[in-house]
C-alpha cells in the first residue's frame, strides 16, 4: 500500500496538476482516481463533478464521497488494497510478527488492514502498523468499519495530493 508523507508544495505545481486532472477524459480520470481509492462509485462521482477550482475543493469532494460509501463500496475499495509490509531487509522475526498480525486482523474483520501513516517517519511505519493492528483487533466489527473507512479517506486524500502534484510534496 502506498504511504504518503505530509508536506507543503508549490501552489503552481498543484494548479498545473489539477488542470491536467480536470482535463483528462472521463475514463482516464476514473482510472487515476481508482488508484487513490478502489471504489468505482467513488471514482465515478469525483470524475463526474470536474472541473474542480482548486485542490481543497477536490479534497472536500473526495471526503464527502468517502463518507457516502455504502458497505459494498468500502468492501470494493478494501479489495483493491494490500497489507502494508516491511522492507525486504527487515529481520525474519519482524516479517513473521507482522504476517501473523495481518492474518489475525483479516480473520477477524474479513479484509486487509489499512492505515494512513502520513504523520510518521518512514522508520516508524513498521511499529505503527503493528501497534495499529494490535489496537484495532480489540474493536467490535462496527467500530472497526468506521475506523477503516476513515483510514481509507485519509489514504485517498494523500494519494489525490500526489496525483495532482506529481508526488511532489516537498
Higher pLDDT, 13 or 109: 109
**CA dist 111 → 45, 97, 104 (Å):** 24, 18, 10
Average model confidence (pLDDT) for the chain?
89
The pLDDT, as a whole number, for residue 76 is: 98
Helices (H) and strands (E) in the chain, counts: 8, 0
The pLDDT, as a whole number, for residue 167 is: 59
What would the grid cell of residue 91 be? 529481520
Q: What average pLDDT does range 46-71 have in this prediction?
A: 97
Q: What average pLDDT does range 114-140 have in this prediction?
A: 92
What would the grid cell of residue 49 be? 463533478
The pLDDT, as a whole number, for residue 6 is: 39
What would the grid cell of residue 151 be? 483510514
Chain centre distance of CA 166 = 16
The pLDDT, as a whole number, for residue 87 is: 76
Rounded to the nearest 5 degrees, what angle is found at the Cα of 112, between the Cα atoms of 116 and 82?
70
The pLDDT, as a whole number, for residue 103 is: 96
Q: What element of type H or E holds 108?
A: helix 92-109
The pLDDT, as a whole number, for residue 170 is: 47
User: Given a cut of 60, is residue 57 above it in pLDDT?
Assistant: yes
Domain limits of the chain?
11-76+152-165, 83-151
Prediction pTM value: 0.86
Rounded to the nearest 5 degrees, what angle is found at the Cα of 158, between the Cα atoms of 81 and 76?
30
The pLDDT, as a whole number, for residue 107 is: 97
Exposure of 116 in the CB half-sphere (CA atoms within 13 A): 20
The pLDDT, as a whole number, for residue 126 is: 86
Q: What average pLDDT does range 103-116 have in this prediction?
A: 96
Cβ atoms of 22 and 51 within 8 Å: the answer is: yes
Q: Is the previous residue joined to 12 through a cis bond, with omega within 30 degrees of 0?
A: no
User: Given a cut of 70, is residue 1 above it in pLDDT?
Assistant: no
Q: What average pLDDT does range 64-80 have in this prediction?
A: 97
Amino acid at each position: 500500500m502506498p504511504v504518503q508523507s505530509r508536506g507543503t508544495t508549490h501552489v503552481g505545481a498543484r494548479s498545473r496538476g489539477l488542470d491536467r486532472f480536470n482535463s483528462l477524459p472521463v475514463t482516464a480520470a476514473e482510472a487515476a482516481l481508482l488508484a487513490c481509492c478502489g471504489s468505482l462509485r467513488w471514482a465515478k462521482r469525483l470524475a463526474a463533478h470536474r472541473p474542480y477550482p482548486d485542490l481543497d475543493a477536490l479534497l472536500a469532494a473526495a471526503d464527502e464521497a468517502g463518507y457516502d460509501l455504502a458497505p459494498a463500496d468500502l468492501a470494493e475499495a478494501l479489495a483493491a488494497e494490500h497489507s502494508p509490509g516491511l522492507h525486504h531487509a527487515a529481520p525474519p522475526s519482524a516479517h513473521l510478527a507482522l504476517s501473523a498480525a495481518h492474518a489475525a486482523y483479516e480473520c477477524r474483520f474479513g479484509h486487509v488492514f489499512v492505515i494512513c501513516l502520513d504523520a510518521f517517519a518512514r522508520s516508524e511505519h513498521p511499529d505503527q502498523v503493528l501497534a495499529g493492528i494490535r489496537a484495532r483487533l480489540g474493536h467490535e466489527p462496527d467500530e472497526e468499519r468506521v475506523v477503516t473507512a476513515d483510514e481509507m479517506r485519509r489514504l485517498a486524500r494523500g494519494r489525490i495530493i500526489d496525483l495532482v502534484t506529481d508526488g511532489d510534496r516537498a
